[in-house]
């Protein structure tokens, strides 16, 4: 690792989290947090020394909270909790997500309200620094009493149980610990509970979805401007006066983006006096629809940054007051609702993009050759590109159904309302991938549409977009194997390559 990053617990930014997810950065915590950690740990020590009854320290868990645990079994209590909760299923989380989970859990514990020893936090940071990722199954959490099952699989690795992934290789946990310079831990009072309680997995998945959605949103915004020029659409709907009298922040921002992207287009100048009165909504209403989606992304970004800095285990210690309070910060409803809002924004962004693709296929609306094929009949052109986009849009519609409205009671009805945040966040990755594909298809179609207006030039910004595509994909003169073209442009989209055309627009730490 050649780069370093020092986090201040409680003040972590989305930009920092993006860097952690991308990898290649050595993460440390600001030394100022050590005092708070030590104070809370000392409070736990006093509770044990005084033989006080405190949930999760000297009692069982959930419905078994009334069971008093002898002092000589407190370490076993924490170990048993971790191992018994390793019930996850499904494919393992990717390294990017696990890196976020490790960093978020370490930062949350370092706020000094969990009662853990610094050695536990250090162990999490050592795994992160050594690029040793616990193998964490992606399914099995309802996002209520924390992400219990996935975080148990993380915690088990610290005990030397389970598996890790190191540079793509699956290893037994004990070997992973050795690579990180660690030996299996013996958990102190409350430490197992502090590891398992918390929303870090749901939050990490939602952050991954937020960043991916931003990449797709930027590409779709650029593609929309390019499609507008290819279809000889009007830029009048992007006049700032229209947006200003409605007052919606997202719409105002998007109208400015479209004006900037289209500024100086000779294609636009060529049809200023055309008889078309109004464009279809997929062109004309872009500021309204994309602006509303942007507002949802911005709202989710605020919630997720806040959650990334939160203390979400239970019970919570307040050493200054000497209090130990049981609450419900582990309930991931804020993450679930934010993820559901992101899902709606992703689905709508893709839906609007697909409608523009369909418009470009139709000579009656676009004025371009049918299916963007110069010699239609012998060539099918981009006919099936719209079919693929329609399939992906339909899939995203189904995936966008809110997860947070579902709840199944767990733990013998002690946990009688749950958030389903983990699934709400996890499905965002698939949805964003679909959006990347849809945006890539539109970029290919719109770039082809611009070719039919040559020798006229689009705007300087959009000509740069076309040139970048043409560096990867030749103009479509006759039918050919389509798949490599889509892969090439999708790679530009997924890599965040279109963010530079919308500087300062996205609120996700770019």
What are the structure tokens assigned to 89, written together?
Answer: 């299923």
Helix, strand or coil for residue 302? helix
Rounded CA separation 502/222 (Å) = 8
What secondary structure letter does DSSP report for 58? T
Q: Among 387, 298, 299, 395, which residue's Cα sits nearest to residue 347?
A: 395
Q: Among 114, 113, 118, which residue's Cα sits nearest to residue 31?
A: 118
Q: Among 282, 299, 137, 311, which residue's Cα sits nearest to residue 224?
A: 282
| Pairing outcome for strands 323-325 and 316-318 | antiparallel
**Residue that has been written with the tokens 């736990």 in this structure:** 44
* Strand-pair partners of 164: 134, 171
Q: How far is the CA of 224 from the CAs of 91, 218, 290, 447, 496, in angstroms? A: 35, 10, 10, 11, 16
Angle between helices 286-308 and 200-230 (to 10 degrees): 160
Q: What is the largest CA-CA distance in the chain?
A: 87
Helix, strand or coil for residue 336? helix
Catalytically active residues, by annotation: 55
What are the structure tokens assigned to 323, written together?
Answer: 């209090």
From start to end of 225-352, where are the E strands? Answer: 316-318, 323-325
| Cβ atoms of 117 and 188 closer than 8 Å | yes
Helix, strand or coil for residue 7? strand
| Cβ atoms of 297 and 213 closer than 8 Å | yes
Helix, strand or coil for residue 475? coil
| Cβ atoms of 173 and 164 closer than 8 Å | yes
Q: Among 295, 247, 257, 475, which residue's Cα sits nearest to residue 374?
A: 475
């Amino acid at each position: 690792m050649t780069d370093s990053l020092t986090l201040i617990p409680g003040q972590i930014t989305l930009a920092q989290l993006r860097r952690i997810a991308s990898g290649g950065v050595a993460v440390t915590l600001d030394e100022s947090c050590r005092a708070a950690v030590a104070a809370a740990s000392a409070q736990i020590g006093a509770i044990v020394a005084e033989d006080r009854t405190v949930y999760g320290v000297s009692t069982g868990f959930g419905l078994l909270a009334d069971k008093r645990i002898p002092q000589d079994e407190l370490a076993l209590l924490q170990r048993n909790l971790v191992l018994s909760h390793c019930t996850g299923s499904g494919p393992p989380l990717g390294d990017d997500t696990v890196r976020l989970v490790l960093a978020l859990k370490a930062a949350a514990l370092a706020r000094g309200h969990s009662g853990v020893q610094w050695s536990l936090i250090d162990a999490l940071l050592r795994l992160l620094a050594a690029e040793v990722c616990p193998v964490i199954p992606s399914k099995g959490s309802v996002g209520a009493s924390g992400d219990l099952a996935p975080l148990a699989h993380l915690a088990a690795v610290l005990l030397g149980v389970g598996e890790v992934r190191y540079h793509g290789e699956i290893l037994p946990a004990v070997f992973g610990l050795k690579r990180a310079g660690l030996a299996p831990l013996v958990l102190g009072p409350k430490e197992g509970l502090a590891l398992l309680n918390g929303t870090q997995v749901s939050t990490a998945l939602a952050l991954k979805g937020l960043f991916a959605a931003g990449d797709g949103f930027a590409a779709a915004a650029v593609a929309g401007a390019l499609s507008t020029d290819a279809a000889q659409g009007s830029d009048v709907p992007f006049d700032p006066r229209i947006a200003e009298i409605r007052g919606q922040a997202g719409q105002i921002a998007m109208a400015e983006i479209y004006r900037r992207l289209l500024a100086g287009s000779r294609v636009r100048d060529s049809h200023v006096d055309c008889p078309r009165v109004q464009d279809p909504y997929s062109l004309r209403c872009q500021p309204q629809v994309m602006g509303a989606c942007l507002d949802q992304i911005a709202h989710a970004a605020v919630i997720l940054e806040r959650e990334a800095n939160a203390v979400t285990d239970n019970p919570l210690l307040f050493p200054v007051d000497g209090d130990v309070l049981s609450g419900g910060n582990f309930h991931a409803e804020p993450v679930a609702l934010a993820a559901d809002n992101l899902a709606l924004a992703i689905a709508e962004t893709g839906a609007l993009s697909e409608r523009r693709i369909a418009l470009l296929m139709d000579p009656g609306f676009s004025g371009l050759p049918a299916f963007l094929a110069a010699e239609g009949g012998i060539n099918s052109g981009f006919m099936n590109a719209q079919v693929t986009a329609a399939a992906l849009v339909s899939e995203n519609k189904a995936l966008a159904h809110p997860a947070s409205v579902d709840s199944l009671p767990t733990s013998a009805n002690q946990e009688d309302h749950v958030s389903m945040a983990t699934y709400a966040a996890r499905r965002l990755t698939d949805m964003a991938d679909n959006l990347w594909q849809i945006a890539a298809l539109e970029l290919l179609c719109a770039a082809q549409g611009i070719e039919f207006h040559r020798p006229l030039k689009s705007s300087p910004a959009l000509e740069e977009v076309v040139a970048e595509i043409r560096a990867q994909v030749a103009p479509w003169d006759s039918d050919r194997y389509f798949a490599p073209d889509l892969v090439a442009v999708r790679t530009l989209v997924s890599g965040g390559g279109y963010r530079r055309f919308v500087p300062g627009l996205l609120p996700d730490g770019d």
